[in-house]
Amino acid sequence: MSLNETILNGDALWRNISEPEWRAVMASTNALVDARNETDLLKDICDAAVNAGGYLLAWYARALQDGSYGFEILAVTGPAKGYVDGIIVTWDDEITGQGPAGQAVRSGRPVVVSDRADPLYAPWAGRAEKYGIKSTVAIPVYVKGNVDGFLAIYSDAEDSFDSVGLSVLETFCQKVGVGIERLQSNVMVNEALEGTIRVLAAALEARDPYTAGHQSAVADLAGLIGTKLELSDFDLQGIRLAAIVHDIGKIGVPTELLVKPSTLREVEIQLLHEHARIGEEILSKVNFPWPIAQIVGQHHERLDGSGYPKGLRGDAIMLYTRIIVVADIVEAMGRTRPYRTGLGIDVVLAELAKGRGVVYDADVVDACLQVLDEGLFKL
């Protein structure tokens, strides 16, 4: 059953909510399904409340556990977003903690202010009037059994949040808490995966001092190229991790070939070429959220089919890989090898110009040239 169905199935409350609440919850549910990280999730939740529900303002704040009883605002959106600029809200027993946010966090239950004449809303009544806010709801969000913070929604009408709508929003905020917990768990898993990746890279660099730093440098350049191409943070993380171990298959290549100070013979070149296949085989044993193994297996493929090990062409080569290919060639040409000194920037630029749209992706080359021209990466 999908998340949408899980939330909506069989709950009579959903048949009675208003159209703005319906639209807001449906849009927010999509955010729960699609979010890649906590920041995106909370921003999308607030955007949905404002854009789909027609509310003036929505914001999410986390209750600080450092003894200050303050809040960290993590997401805010809406035409009345200026309302939160410089706002002082706490969750202690002071007057600043007596409003809907403070009470919601302390009590662990939703709190509604039906109109701004409510005496508990006094510290913020002037702000509310300035921004046309007439009613508010603050709903606590639980993560791992504890109140993490609150989602607050503001309306330009009095009594906007009746008992049915409040029950719906409370149920939905339970799902938001589950979403935050899932994403936080994903961060821990990704950190563990990244640690594994870096250990593998270190193992290779211990065998081949000439590649020490090469993979990390390729990761840096590939990340900069991906940023120029406006890729998502999720994609950029995958590209960097793949780049950090793109040569891991050299673990299966005799060390004497890796450090040989003279040109390799044809049979030795063929043996070295095996490192792409070996790398893919090694990494295929790990269930990454990105196609790390396939990227590594493709990092010597070329658009015109002249690469190895499979002679892939064009779109058969993933964009992730096409970025790493360009970063790899640029960094490798600029780095001193056992059999030659590093080549200069003019040689690198000439290679990119010659291969642009032929063996290297044109958009990736253009993005790389921007990075180099702006001095963001040095050979």
Share above pLDDT 90 across residues of the chain, in percent, rounded to a whole number: 46
Share above pLDDT 70 across residues of the chain, in percent, rounded to a whole number: 79
Backbone angles phi, psi at 182, to 5 degrees: -60, -45
What tokens were used for 112?
């509604």
Asked if the model's pLDDT at residue 33 lies above 60, the reply is: no
pLDDT in tens, 193-204: 666 677 767 766
pLDDT recorded at residue 350? 94
The residue among 252 and 83 whose pLDDT is bigger is 83
Backbone angles phi, psi at 242, to 5 degrees: -65, -40
Average pLDDT, the chain: 83
What tokens were used for 148?
């993490």
pLDDT band with cut points at 50, 70 and 90 for residue 273 = confident
Give the DSSP letter of residue 177: H
Residues 226 and 232: their CA atoms lie apart, in Å, by: 9
Asked if the model's pLDDT at residue 26 lies above 60, the reply is: no
Asked if the model's pLDDT at residue 81 lies above 70, the reply is: yes
pLDDT recorded at residue 137? 93
What are the residue numbers of the active site?
250
What tokens were used for 166?
């409040």
The residue among 150 and 187 whose pLDDT is bigger is 150
**Which of the residue ranges 194-203, 297-306, 320-329 would you say has the lowest mean pLDDT?**
194-203
Cβ–Cβ under 8 Å, residues 329 and 323: no
Residues 140 and 215: their CA atoms lie apart, in Å, by: 45
What tokens were used for 54?
């027609």
Asked if the model's pLDDT at residue 4 lies above 70, the reply is: no
pLDDT in tens, 95-138: 999 999 999 999 999 999 998 888 888 899 899 999 999 999 99
Backbone angles phi, psi at 117, to 5 degrees: -80, -10
The stretch 34-61 carries a mean pLDDT of 82
The stretch 86-101 carries a mean pLDDT of 92
Contacts 24+ apart (CB under 8 A), 80-88: 80/56, 80/131, 80/132, 80/133, 80/154, 81/57, 82/131, 83/57, 83/127, 83/128, 83/130, 83/131, 83/133, 83/154, 84/57, 84/59, 87/124, 87/127, 88/123
Residues 323 and 327: their CA atoms lie apart, in Å, by: 6
Asked if the model's pLDDT at residue 32 lies above 70, the reply is: no
Give, for 269, the enclosing helix (H) or strand (E). Answer: helix 266-283
> What is the Cα Rg of the chain in Å?
27
The stretch 48-71 carries a mean pLDDT of 88
Asked if the model's pLDDT at residue 52 lies above 70, the reply is: no
Residues 63 and 105: their CA atoms lie apart, in Å, by: 8
Interstrand relation of 57-63 and 135-143 (parallel, antiparallel or unpaired): unpaired
The crossing angle, in degrees rounded to 10, of helices 362-373 and 345-355 is: 160
What tokens were used for 229?
């191409």
**Which of the residue ranges 33-47, 147-161, 210-224 would you say has the lowest mean pLDDT?**
33-47
* CA-closest candidate to residue 143, choices 112, 168, 170, 173: 173
Which residue is listed with tokens 């590093």? 342
pLDDT recorded at residue 251? 78
Asked if the model's pLDDT at residue 78 lies above 50, the reply is: yes
Asked if the model's pLDDT at residue 172 lies above 80, the reply is: no
pLDDT recorded at residue 146? 92
- Structural domains of the chain ordered from first start: 3-184 (3.30.450.40), 208-373 (1.10.3210.10)
Asked if the model's pLDDT at residue 35 lies above 90, the reply is: no
Residues 81 and 73: their CA atoms lie apart, in Å, by: 12
pLDDT in tens, 209-241: 666 678 889 999 999 999 999 999 889 989 999
The stretch 258-268 carries a mean pLDDT of 70
DSSP 179-238: HHHHHHHHHHHHHHHHHHHHHHHHHHHHH-GGGTTHHHHHHHHHHHHHHHTT--HHHHHH
Contacts of 335 (CB under 8 A, 6+ apart): 214, 217, 342, 379
**Which of the residue ranges 59-73, 110-124, 164-178 would you say has the lowest mean pLDDT?**
164-178
